[in-house]
Amino acid sequence: MSDTKKITANHVARAVIPDPGFGREVEEKSRTRVSSCFQCLKCTGGCPVTFAMDIMPHQAIRMVQLGMKDEVLESSTIWVCASCETCTTRCPNDIDIAHLMDTLRQTAIAEKITPAQKEILAFHRVFMMTIRFLGRLYEPGMLGALKAWTRTLNRGEIKLGWKMFKKGKLKIVPRAVGESRELRAIFAKAKQKVKGEGSKVKG
Ligand code: SF4
Ligand code: SF4
């Protein structure tokens, strides 16, 4: 294979076409003043999952400020973020970075942007589906659905699952927490809240 053929679309530098309204749009949706970031790096310094990110949290903030919409929404960082809020607590400008990451994830989903690591989005969907129906985690069902969706189930994992089942480590029958009516109401309320966000900007 020639060197030219080895180069994939991801390796080809593309022109950055900034979206000047993106920063403001994100500020409104996340209700946090991204524009006040002065790049002190305290967020990145405290983040426990930077090792798995393709851009650092402070870089994601800078990209939002610069209107680099495609670049930030296509990053795996917004999906790797564990919403631990360490960055939010450390930020001297009270920027709610954890919420901002959540907003960026929602925007990426709404705009049908495929993340750099597709499995992360699949995991996010399966996780939310489990919570929506049961109100709690149900690992066997969640992993089964994830593996089927991403077509990554292998013989070793089936064997391991069987071993765990025989030792009583896997509970096959799921147990729901609360009434499904209540769970539906919580999700409907959250959906409404997301729609309603945008009227005020903190800071
Ligand atoms: S801690 Fe706050 S001000 Fe500092 S780089 Fe991160 S977002 Fe910006
Ligand atoms: S909320 Fe996300 S970005 Fe912030 S420190 Fe935790 S994992 Fe890192």
* Closest residue to atom 1 of ligand 1, CA basis: 91
4: left (phi over 0), alpha (psi -120 to 50) or beta: alpha
- 3-26 pLDDT, tens digit each: 443 444 444 466 778 888 999 999
Res 115 pLDDT > 50: yes
CB of 91 shorter than 6 A to ligand 2: no
Which structure tokens are listed for 47? 């983040």
Which is the closest atom of ligand 2 to the Cα of 83? 1
- Greatest mean pLDDT range, 72-76, 146-150, 191-195: 72-76
Average pLDDT over residues 58-85: 94
- What is the distance between the alpha carbons of residues 39 and 24, in angstroms, rounded to a whole number? 18
pTM of the model: 0.74
Domain boundaries, the chain: 9-115, 118-193
Say which residue the tokens 């920027």 belong to.
95
Which is the closest atom of ligand 2 to the Cα of 77? 3
Alpha-carbon dihedral 164, 148, 8, 5, rounded to 10 degrees: 100
CB of 86 shorter than 6 A to ligand 2: yes
- What is the distance between the alpha carbons of residues 126 and 135, in angstroms, rounded to a whole number? 13
Note the CATH number of domain 9-115.
1.10.1060.10
- 171-196 pLDDT, tens digit each: 778 877 767 778 888 888 877 776 66
Reported residue count of the chain is 203
* Closest residue to atom 3 of ligand 1, CA basis: 37
* pLDDT confidence of residue 13: 60
**Ligand lying closest to the C-alpha of residue 39:** 1
| DSSP H helix total and E strand total for the chain | 12, 0
CB of 82 shorter than 6 A to ligand 2: yes
Res 41 pLDDT > 50: yes
